[in-house]
Structure 1
Amino acid sequence: MAYSAAPTPAKPLSRVKGLATATMILTGIAGLGGVITAITTPSAVDSANDFLAGRLSEDDFLDDYTAFGLTQSLQSLGTIATAVLTMIWLYRMAGNVRSFGRATTWAPIWAVFAWILPPVLIIIPFLMVREVWKASDPSAPHDATSWKQSPDNPLIWVWFVVYGIVPTIIAAISFESFLGAGFSQEADEIAETLDDFGTLQMVSAGVSVVAAIVWILVVRQLTARHVELTNER
């Protein structure tokens, strides 16, 4: 690959543009799943209410719930695929900035470990993305630490709130009920969960859509900044 007009890296650089494009596409798919979930949640809640009130048969309710579950599966699959590509993308960038002699706190391997730790430790991916943003500053002097003075990207903080903090709060509120329903095949338990937490589910889906949009913007801006540093063609 050709890299020019940039300081000479100590190691071969990894390409990130293609991974970034794929990550943004898959994030969009996950976001679309969130939109569909938000739209279909009121209908699922109505079905749950009708079933609990005896106005809808168990089979009809489970049919409605299965259709609702498919939209959640679309969102989940998109999220998982996005996570895998994000790990590779971030791993490569973290390695590239170190190849330029920039002394970072988070080793590239944290691009994998940070995402599989418990949700309460979402602070680590945030810190790593923030650090890679700063270390990718093409205008920073090419030494070990000057990049640390580079300004933050406010979008990364917004992403941390809508992807990390808000979902963690929602999960904490609904954890006990969703845990029980998640492993239950009993229609009445599923219906009660939808009845109790349907609004929260809709809010969660809406937050996930916002998080997807913000993450697409973060990936786009960070990749452009990083490519300017490495002069990837």
Structure 2
Amino acid sequence: MYSDSLTNPQPQPWQAPPMAWSAPYRSPRGLGIAASVLLGVVALFDVLDGAASLAARAQYQELVGEPVQSGELVVDAELVSAVTGVLGVAAALATAVVFICWFLRVRKNAELLAPQLRQRRSPAWAGWGWFVPVVSLWFPFQIAQDSWRAATAPGAPKASEKLLGFWWAAWLISLTVSQADGQLYSEAETAEAYVSSFGVAAVADGLDLVAAVLAILVVRRLTARQDAAAAGLAPAPYQPQAAYLQG
């Protein structure tokens, strides 16, 4: 009988293995706070640069029709706009570094929170996707969308993704208008041309302000969603049975 039990073992009921993290979850909260603060700084410079652009436009409007040479077309407000523009670019670069670090963190977390969901882009695209031409128009949005979907807490209803759509649309429109403004400014030689250029610059600053505010909302909400989902999936601390303690 002993040998039969070895050669023909009795089937045992299957038991699911205990749930455990395949990799440590790293909260994006710290990076999210830093990114939100820097986005707020960018928004502030958008306001300052927009005001300077409107002032420069008004001063150039006064020069329309006057016999001045193109080389003399420099107004005081234009110098202020140049300073705020340079500071705004520096703030934007610092913000981009921190934002991409946060973006990479939430992309990696998405695989931990919902391994059953297919992520359309690898974590490497969370960084390179912002710089590679053409694909930068939609790769980052897809990553944000997949990370948003993966951060649904157990039992929670599916959250609307409209905020992501508004943010990405504002970002793309802001980039397009900013590029148009740069082209207009580089080709401007008359007061009328500078009036048009600084008018477009003010619009670009307004659009960038909207995109920055929406980006702050995306960072805050996606960070909170991932932390909430991680809290719901984390295994509970081990509690010995009372019978075992009494035995």
Shared fold, TM over 0.5: yes
Give me the whole-angstrom Cα distance separating, in 2, the residues matched to 1:41 and 1:172: 16
Give 2:15's aligned residue. none
2:167 counterpart residue number: 159
Instruction: For 1:27, give the aligned amino acid.
Output: L
Q: 2:91 aligns with which of 53, 78, 96?
A: 78
Gaps of 5+ in 2: 1-18, 233-247
Q: Is the 8 A contact 1:140 1:150 kept in 2?
A: no
C-alpha distance in 2 between matches for 1:120 and 1:155: 21
1:114 and 2:114 are equivalent in the alignment: no
Q: Which residue type is aligned with residue 80 of structure 2?
A: A
Give me the whole-angstrom Cα distance separating, in 1, the residues matched to 2:84 and 2:208: 13
> Which deviates more, 53-62 or 203-212?
53-62
Q: 1: CA distance between counterparts of 2:60 and 2:33? A: 40
Instruction: Percent identity, please.
Output: 23
Judged with a 3 Å threshold, the aligned counterparts in structure 2 of structure 1 residues 172 and 66 are, in CA distance, closer, same or farther, namely closer
Residue correspondence of structure 1 range 27-66 to structure 2 within 5 A = 27-50=39-62, 53=66, 61=74, 63-66=76-79
CA contact (8 A) 1:33 1:71 kept: yes
Q: Distance in 2 between matches of 1:175 and 1:153?
A: 32
Counterpart of 1:226, as a letter, is Q
Matched position secondary structure for 2:130: helix
Which residue is equivalent to 1:26? 38
CA offset digits 1:125-156 (Å, max 9, x no partner): 11111111111112269xxxxxxx94442111
Partner of 1:219: 219
Is the contact between residue 30 and residue 77 of structure 1 (CA under 8 Å) also seen in structure 2?
Answer: no
Say which of 76, 99, 107 aligns to 1:94: 107
Deviation string, structure 1 residues 143-192 (Cα, Å, up to 9, x no partner):
xxxxxx9444211111011111x2244246446434x35xxxxxx74866
What letter corresponds to residue 138 of structure 1 in structure 2? Answer: A
Cα offset, 1:117, TM superposition = 2.3
Contact 2:43/2:209 (8 A) holds in 1: yes
The aligned amino acid for 1:206 is G
Shift of 1:18: 0.7
Retained in 2: the 8 A contact 1:37–1:72? yes
TM normalised by structure 2 equals 0.73
Would you say how many aligned residue pairs link Structure 1 and Structure 2?
211
Letter in 2 for 1:121: S
- What is the one-letter code of the residue matched to 1:211? A
Supply the distance in 2 between the matched residues of 1:57 and 1:194 (Cα, whole angstroms). 10
Larger helix share, 1 or 2: 1
Residue 224 of structure 1 deviates from its aligned partner by 0.3
8 Å CA contact 1:20, 1:220 repeated in 2: yes
> Structure 1 residue 118: deviation in Å?
3.0
Partner of 1:229: 229
Higher normalized contact order (CA 8 Å, seq sep 6+, divided by chain length): 1
The 3 A distance-change label for structure 1 pair 88 and 135 is same
Q: Judge conservation of contact 2:60–2:195 (CA < 8 Å) in 1.
A: yes
Alpha-carbon distance between aligned partners in 2 of 1:150 and 1:121, rounded to the nearest angstrom: 27
TM-aligned CA distance change 1:160 to 1:44, over 3 Å: same
CA RMSD across the alignment: 3.0
2:146 equivalent to 1:131: yes
Counterpart CA distance in 1 for 2:193 and 2:68 is: 18
Q: CA deviation at 1:9?
A: 2.1
